[in-house]
């Protein structure tokens, strides 16, 4: 920092702040970045697909399996329903994709459910959508990492007992990468994402070729079907239940709409094209995997994943192609958590910016990322993994419900927006915080699409909540309203504070008729006399206070004060119960009780500052205790005058 | 507290401090006591024996057993040596008792090893004696409680696995009793101490009667002899080793000489008589138990104590008399810890008063006891119990070495004192901190007695250190010098501090040529303007500082400051790396670098004080961070102006 001779000027600016010093954590997360470097940190379509698609694409690794897990309750015969159910989910996927494509173009500044709901439906729906998405991002991390570890454990069963520790370690790794910042993590993630897409596509195509040539058999040595519940009939409820589990395939589709600002210009176009690519890949892989799994009679199991069974059947054993696919799947799953790490802090910052979450979430760390949000996400996801022992099947009932709530609110908001657009005259504009509304010729058509999407996703959410209520969905149904309540409590705090601090009608009442200074002294020595000198520069109205515990000590203080006290009045407070802070507090309370409004009261405490920390143990921390006791007293200032030796 | 209208008088004293409010911990440890109540808290001989003798007497419960534990290494045949060894220890006991009787009369104000060594031998021997005694008190608690739990586990073997938890619970109980204060704990302890003395005496007498009538057989079903080491020969080393273990019988004899001030007047006479009673009871019981244990062929074991084997042999089974003795022994052992709880804090306060331990140890708590010392002892003893799994045999090698070091130093000091006494003329007096030396007619005789005691106990200490070095004595041999070093480091700190704070040659340099006030503001609102007003009462030389992270925010601050800043100059610090505290620190460092000696620098930070603690989570703790960063900067005052809403 260069302090120019203009130090005293009213408009002085010290611009040359020296760069932060090298520190241990810079080697982990990289050297600090300037705020001015921020706009360069954007990405193109190719890297964008890698960053935002990993969440959506990776769900192909578990969605089919989770459908089968539910169907298996009615026995292996019921497993043939997996493909029809997958088709229904595919249809839903098409509807949601079209809806979001419209959203991306309407909200080039980022059109997550939160912003769309806020601009079109109001604060309560917006906070609800936000809460739903935040819980969902945490679950994305927990589910993806758990599934990734499950893939690894399928290939190397001896790792199964250590799955929780491995999963938490993975969360830590992804956290570190994200603390470095989005661009670098994009580059790191591009290669494996494309590797997974190619490997999985190749597997599915080879599988189909073998089906058509009639050479694809059934799984050799499938894992045993673990029937926790008694065999049931294939009821409509069971089918809906299985469908609900499969909707986890849709999670992650919304990621791009939240992250439009991370794309290179033209943002909306780039983001929209990326979305369509992503959904096409996702849909085809999901359908292909479901079809083939059913064909080879794969059996859902916690011990070996469906992907593993499919791969070793298609490739005739666990050779290199098998390992490549399992490895690729595991890596993309673990990286899928990265999508949540990109979006959770961004959404948290949006909430915080609107005053519904602590302001600290809007601060960007030394690497220009929202460090607080990243760390919070890492902690919460790790807790979930530990609590649910890294089991995907146990985590799934908590999962997609939040996503569908936000889908539904977002599309309802979009429908409302098209309706507003239809009310406008040509050339007329309505400017909202998140976007600008103009008349759209196709507003009715677009409104119907988004409205239909809203209804569909709402129905799916209800189905999910009912069929999975007792498996864990109740936790989320309870959690989201709790979060919304907390958000409004926080908002209320900031609003109240802003109103109370507002300068509207503020009269600068700087007239002070009396500035009374109370100086506490434990003894008469250099430290207390330095404090006395300081107190006398503030006001001539100084009273020294000594709490008397030992009469001999008090007599000494009294005599020395006659000599060195510069005539300042000394009040002795007797303390028959050998208390220090309480008599001081009582004295101050008496002073406050008789105080005039234009009177200032300052409490000065000499504070010994040792050369070594351990020397603190050899002294009373009276100043500290007094400070805590006085912190909540309105209208007085407490001040420690330090003396170093 | 009554604040009279004389508030402004120089000699005002606010004597009527209201008694402390009822609090949860008063129900545990009793209502606060006034300092003026202190002299009434003394005790007579009967209660004194109960308070101070429990340590010494209770060692009869394990001393015999620990001798046998060592002898058993050479097989059951070696156990017949237990009585001759006990006789040797008895002789040592007589020597030490006579020595201490002389000490009590010479030091009516309390003549522990620390004071005697300090007055006659100098600071280093005194600190060594003190360190030895302090470690020993901690071990007294650990050994006594562990042995008490072992007695209980002998009667109820199903409790054996929970012995550590039970022992720690007992420590907690004794701690509570001691936090209430000495008189009450004396009363509580008198009944069980006398119960033990009567029960144990009755058992020994009945045992001897049965020996003389030839009706005392051997132990039925003795515990198995656990031979950890290969059978050895009965070597002189083994006999000395067993002797060393038995010297634990002497621990506690010094307790009365430390605690003379707790006795009613005439102190020395009362304390001296109590000492002789105590030693007589201790010696007879110890010899009796050793004789009978050998006679009934008791076998030392961690599972069943010797006392338990003796009792069920004398009483022919585990009926009511057996349970009464075991119960009484267990209770006295647990209460023996009380002796240490009476003496450890008192000795700690002596060290602290001389500036060798933190001053806080001299403060008496609301019940007039040295609460800090009591709590410290409880924590350290609990740690030892957990570390050594409440095993007496594993704790014993750490035990008596400290006691014998302090015995030896104390008696050497006494010998030196008699020698000084012999140099005086009749009527002449030397006044020392702890006592007054006059010519004593029998000075030569008394010097020989104390000198002989010093030599004997020194030799025993050396024997102990050598024979038990590898069993754990090395810990104490390492610990005591470390403690002494720490004591001198603390002493050095206080001496240096006192010199630096000394007012000798102090010139009151209250001339201040400039008082510069730096005010940090995050924004312009009521809170920062209240701080500005305050700053302006201190000095007209106020500079407001704003750290700029967001340029838009900074522009707003600049504009609002024009309006509300009362013309105070505003400095904007650009922070391209989005840091808050670091730019402030850099600015302050620059100011400090160019400061004149007569210039004062005060840093003012507006501090938001929330109505509820959780609201703190919604705000940056900039003031707190800045405070920590500035605490070690010499020569500036930091001051938070609070604003409550």
| Predicted pLDDT of residue A20 | 59
Q: Which residues of B touch A360 (CB under 8 A)?
A: 620
Which structure tokens are listed for A253?
């589709």
CB B219 within 8 A of CB B308: no
Confidence of residue A611 (pLDDT cuts 50, 70, 90): confident
Given this model, what pLDDT does residue A507 score? 67
Q: Chain B interface, mutation test: which of A33, A37, A503, A504, most B Cβ atoms within 10 Å? A: A503
Rg (CA), chain B: 32
Nearest by CB to residue B506, choosing from A529, A566, A600, is A529
Question: What are the distances in angstroms from CA A232 to CA A34, A75, A301, A302, A472?
Answer: 62, 8, 18, 20, 21
B360 contacts in chain A (CB < 8 Å): 620
Beta carbons of A197 and A281 less than 8 angstroms apart: yes
* Selected residue with higher pLDDT from B83 and B585: B83
Contact list in A for residue B539 (CB cut-off 8 A) is: 537
User: Mutating which of A564, A618, A644 best tests the B interface, going by the most B Cβ atoms within 10 A?
Assistant: A618
Q: Is the pLDDT of residue A2 over 60?
A: no
Beta bridge partners of B429: B438
Tokens coding B13: 């004293």
Confidence of residue B276 (pLDDT cuts 50, 70, 90): very high
Residue A27's Cβ-count burial label (10 Å; 0-12, 13-18, 19+) is exposed
Shortest Cα–Cα distance, B437 to chain A (Å):
26
Token pair of A93 as six digits: 């996927």
Cross-chain CB nearest to A576 (options B34, B510, B638): B34
- Tell me which residue of A567, A615, A529 sits closest to B502, measured CA to CA: A529
Of the spans A483-487, A504-508, B570-574, which averages the highest pLDDT?
Answer: A483-487
Taking the C-alpha atoms of residue B117 and residue A571, their distance in angstroms, rounded to an integer, is 42
Which of A34, A526, A575 is facing B501, going by the closest CB pair? Answer: A526
pLDDT category, A255, cuts 50, 70, 90?
A: confident
Ranges of H-type helices in A121-218: 123-155, 163-180, 182-212
Cβ of A578 and B365 within 8 Å?
yes
User: Residues A351-403: pLDDT tens digits?
Assistant: 888 889 888 888 776 666 778 889 999 999 999 999 998 898 889 889 888 88
| Bridge partners for A48 per DSSP | none
- Report CB contact under 8 Å: A525, B515: no
Q: Which residue of B has its CA nearest to A543?
A: B8
Distance from CA of A266 to the nearest CA of B (A): 26
- What is the number of residues in chain B? 645
Predicted pLDDT of residue B10: 42
Q: How far is B410 from chain A (nearest CA, A)?
A: 28
Phi/psi zone of residue A231: left (φ > 0), alpha (ψ -120 to 50 degrees), beta? beta
Measure CB to CB from residue B358 to each of A18, A509, A618 and give the nearest one: A618
Of chain A, the percentage scoring pLDDT greater than 90 comes to 34
Interface contact B501-A527, CB threshold 8 A:
yes
Mean pLDDT of B191-198: 90
> Smallest Cβ distance to B525: which of A501, A515, A572?
A501
- In this complex, which of B365, B564, B639 lies closest to A503 when CB atoms are compared? B564
Of A508, A587, A632, the CB nearest to B609: A632
Token output for B298: 């008791």
CA dihedral A550, A551, A554, A555 (to 10 degrees): -150
What are the chain A neighbours of B9 within 8 Å (beta carbons)? 569
pLDDT tens digit sequence for A522-547: 888 888 888 898 888 888 899 999 98
Helix, strand or coil, per DSSP, at residue B515? strand
Nearest CA of chain A to the CA of B466: how many Å?
A: 35
**Tokens at A66, concatenated:** 């989770």
| Spatial CB neighbours of A642, under 8 Å, sequence gap ≥ 6 | A607, A608, A609, B631, B634, B636, B637
- What's residue A382's pLDDT? 94
**Using CA atoms, how far apart are residues A141 and A164, in angstroms rounded to an integer?**
13
| Dihedral sign, Cα of residue B15, residue B21, residue B24, residue B28 | positive
Question: How close is the nearest chain B Cα to the Cα of A431, in Å?
Answer: 21
Closest Cβ–Cβ partner in B365, B587, B600 for A14: B587
B177: its two tokens: 């009793």
Cα separation, A223 vs A301, in Å, equals 7
Pure H helices in B397-472: 401-423, 443-467
DSSP state letters, B361-417: GG---TTSS-HHHHHHHHHHHHHHHHHTTT-HHHHGGGSTHHHHHHHHHHHHHHHHH
Task: With cut-offs at 50, 70 and 90, classify the pLDDT of residue B645.
Answer: low
Q: Where are the alpha helices (DSSP H) in B502-612?
A: 526-538, 551-564, 581-593
CA of A488: how far to CAs of A351, A405, A485, in Å?
11, 19, 5
Instruction: State how far the alpha carbon of B325 is from the alpha carbons of A131, B305, B311, B358, in Å.
Output: 68, 12, 7, 42
Q: Which of B443, B468, B531 is nearest to B139 (CA)?
A: B468
Q: How far apart are CA A385 and CA A469, in angstroms?
A: 20
Over 70: is that where the pLDDT of B8 sits? Answer: no
- Confidence band for A4, pLDDT divided at 50, 70 and 90: very low
Question: Which residue do the tokens 């009476």 mark?
Answer: B342
Give me the residue from B493, B494, B503 closest to A564, CB to CB: B503
For residue B566, the chain A residues in CB contact (below 8 A) are 508, 510
**Beta strands B429-431 and B436-438, pairing class:** antiparallel
The pLDDT of A332-339, averaged and rounded, is 84
% of chain B surpassing 70 pLDDT: 89
Cβ distance A645 to B500 less than 8 Å, yes or no, reads yes
CA closest to B512 among chain A residues: A537
Tokens representing A286? 């999901």
DSSP alpha helix (H) spans, A502-550: 526-538
Residue of B nearest to A33 (CA): B577
Q: How many C-beta atoms lie closer than 10 Å to residue A608's C-beta?
A: 22
Q: Residue B174 and residue A640: Cα distance in Å, rounded?
A: 40
Report the alpha-carbon distance of residue B355 to residue B385 in Å, rounded: 30
Contact A359 B496 (CB under 8 A): no
E strand or H helix that includes residue A599? strand A599-609
Cβ-Cβ contacts under 8 Å between A and B: the total is 236
Contact B526 A618 (CB under 8 A): no
Chain A residues inside the 8 Å CB shell of B36: 576
Tokens of A376: 């919070």
Residue B100: phi, psi to the nearest 5?
-70, -30
Which of B577, B590, B611, B615 is most worth mutating to test chain A (most A CB atoms within 10 A of its CB)?
B577
List the end-to-end C-alpha distance of chain A, in Å, as a whole number. Answer: 30
The pLDDT assigned to B88 comes to 94
- By three-state DSSP, how is residue B13 classified? strand
Evaluate whether B33 touches B20 at the Cβ level (below 8 Å).
no
Residue B256, min C-alpha distance to chain A (Å): 27
Band (B1; pLDDT cuts 50, 70, 90): very low
Torsion from C-alpha of A261, A267, A273, A274, nearest 10 degrees: -30
Residues 6 or more apart whose Cβ sits within 8 Å of residue B178:
B185, B338, B341, B342, B369, B374
Q: Are A645 and B526 in contact (CB < 8 Å)? A: no
- Give the Å distances, CA to CA, from A339 to A57, A101, A335, A554: 11, 19, 8, 68
**Residues in chain A closer than 8 A to B598 (CB atoms):** none
Q: Which residues of B touch A512 (CB under 8 A)?
A: 533, 537
Residue A8: is its pLDDT beyond 60? no
Residue to test with chain A: of B542, B600, B618, most A Cβ within 10 A = B618
Instruction: Indicate yes or no: CB of A537 within 8 angstroms of CB of B524.
Output: no
How many angstroms separate the CA atoms of A112 and A123, rounded? 14
Chain A residues within 8 A of B500 when measuring between CB atoms: 526, 645
The distance of B513 to chain A (nearest Cα, Å) reads: 11
Whether B93 shows a pLDDT value over 50: the answer reads: yes
Instruction: Pull the structure tokens for residue A520.
Output: 């506490």
Q: Residue A464: in which H helix or E strand, if any? A: helix A443-467
Q: Terminus-to-terminus CA distance in chain B, angstroms?
A: 30
Residue-wise pLDDT for B220-247, tens only, equals 888 877 655 556 678 888 899 899 999 9
Buried b (16+ CB within 10 A) or exposed e, B323-356: ebbbbbbbbbbbbbbbbbbbbbbbbbbbbbebbb
Q: How confident is the model at residue B50 (pLDDT cuts 50, 70, 90)?
A: confident
Nearest by CB to residue B36, choosing from A524, A537, A576, is: A576
Quick check: helix, strand or coil at residue B508?
coil
Per DSSP, the three-state class of A215 is coil
Write A8-12 long-range contacts (CB < 8 A, 24+).
A8/B543, A8/B569, A9/B569, A10/B569, A10/B570, A11/B570, A11/B572, A12/B569, A12/B571, A12/B572
Residue in chain B lying closest to A600 (CA): B534
Nearest to B578 among A35, A493, A632 (CB): A35
Alpha-carbon gap, residue A250 to B460, rounded angstroms = 82
Q: What pLDDT does residue A29 have?
A: 62
């Amino acid at each position: 920092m260069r302090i120019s001779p203009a130090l005293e000027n009213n408009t002085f600016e010290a611009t040359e702040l020296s760069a932060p010093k090298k520190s241990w954590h810079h080697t982990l997360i990289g050297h600090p970045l300037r705020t001015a470097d921020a706009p360069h940190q954007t990405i193109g379509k190719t890297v964008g697909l890698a960053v935002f698609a990993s969440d959506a694409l990776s769900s192909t690794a578990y969605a089919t399996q989770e459908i089968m897990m539910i169907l298996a309750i009615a026995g292996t015969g019921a497993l043939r329903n997996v493909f029809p159910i997958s088709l229904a989910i595919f249809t839903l996927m098409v509807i949601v994709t079209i809806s979001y494509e419209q959203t991306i173009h309407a909200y080039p500044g980022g059109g997550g459910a939160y912003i769309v709901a806020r601009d079109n439906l109001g604060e309560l729906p917006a906070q609800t959508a936000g809460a739903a998405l935040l819980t969902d991002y945490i679950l994305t991390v927990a589910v993806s990492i758990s599934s990734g570890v499950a893939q690894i454990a399928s290939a190397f069963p001896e790792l199964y007992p250590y799955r929780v520790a491995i999963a938490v370690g993975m969360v830590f790794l992804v956290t570190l990468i994200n603390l470095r910042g989005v661009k670098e993590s994009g580059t790191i993630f591009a290669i494996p994402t494309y590797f997974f897409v190619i490997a999985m596509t190749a597997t599915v195509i080879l599988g189909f070729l073998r089906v058509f040539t009639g050479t694809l058999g059934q799984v050799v040595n499938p894992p045993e079907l673990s029937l926790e519940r008694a065999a049931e009939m294939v009821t409509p409820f069971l089918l809906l239940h299985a469908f609900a589990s499969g909707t986890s395939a849709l999670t992650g589709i919304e990621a791009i709409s939240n992250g439009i600002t991370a794309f290179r210009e033209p943002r909306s176009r780039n983001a929209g094209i990326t979305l369509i690519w992503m959904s096409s890949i996702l849909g085809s892989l999901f359908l292909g995997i479901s079809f083939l799994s059913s064909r080879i009679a794969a059996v859902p199991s916690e011990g070996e994943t469906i992907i593993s069974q499919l791969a070793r059947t298609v490739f005739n054993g666990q050779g290199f192609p098998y390992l490549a696919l399992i490895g690729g799947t595991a890596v993309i799953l673990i990286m899928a958590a990265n999508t949540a790490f990109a979006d959770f802090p961004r959404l948290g910052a949006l909430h915080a910016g609107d005053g519904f979450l602590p302001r600290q979430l809007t601060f960007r760390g030394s690497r220009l990322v929202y460090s607080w949000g990243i760390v919070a996400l890492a902690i919460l996801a790790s807790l979930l993994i530990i609590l649910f022992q890294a089991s995907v099947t146990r985590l799934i009932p908590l999962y997609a419900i939040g996503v569908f709530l936000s889908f539904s609110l977002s599309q309802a908001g979009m429908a409302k927006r098209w309706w507003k657009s239809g009310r406008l005259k040509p050339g007329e504009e309505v400017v909202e915080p998140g976007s600008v509304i103009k008349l759209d010729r196709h507003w009715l058509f677009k409104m119907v699409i988004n409205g239909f999407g809203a209804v569909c996703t709402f129905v799916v959410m209800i189905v999910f909540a009912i069929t999975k209520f007792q498996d864990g969905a109740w936790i989320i149904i309870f959690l989201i309203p709790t979060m919304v309540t907390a958000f409004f409590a926080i908002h209320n705090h900031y609003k109240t504070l802003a109103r109370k601090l507002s300068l509207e009608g503020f009269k600068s009442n700087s007239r002070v008729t009396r500035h009374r200074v109370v100086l506490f002294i434990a003894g008469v020595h250099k430290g207390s006399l330095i404090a006395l000198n300081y107190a006398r520069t503030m006001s001539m109205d100084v009273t020294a206070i000594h709490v008397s515990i030992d009469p001999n000590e008090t007599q000494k203080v009294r005599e020395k004060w006659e000599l060195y006290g510069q005539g300042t009045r000394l009040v002795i407070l007797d303390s028959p119960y050998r208390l220090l802070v309480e008599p001081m507090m009582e004295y101050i309370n008496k002073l406050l009780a008789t105080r005039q409004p234009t009177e200032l009261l300052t409490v000065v405490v000499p504070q010994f500052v040792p050369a070594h920390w351990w020397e603190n143990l050899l002294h009373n921390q009276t100043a500290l205790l007094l400070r805590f006791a006085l912190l909540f007293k309105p209208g007085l200032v407490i001040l420690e005058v330090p003396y170093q030796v």
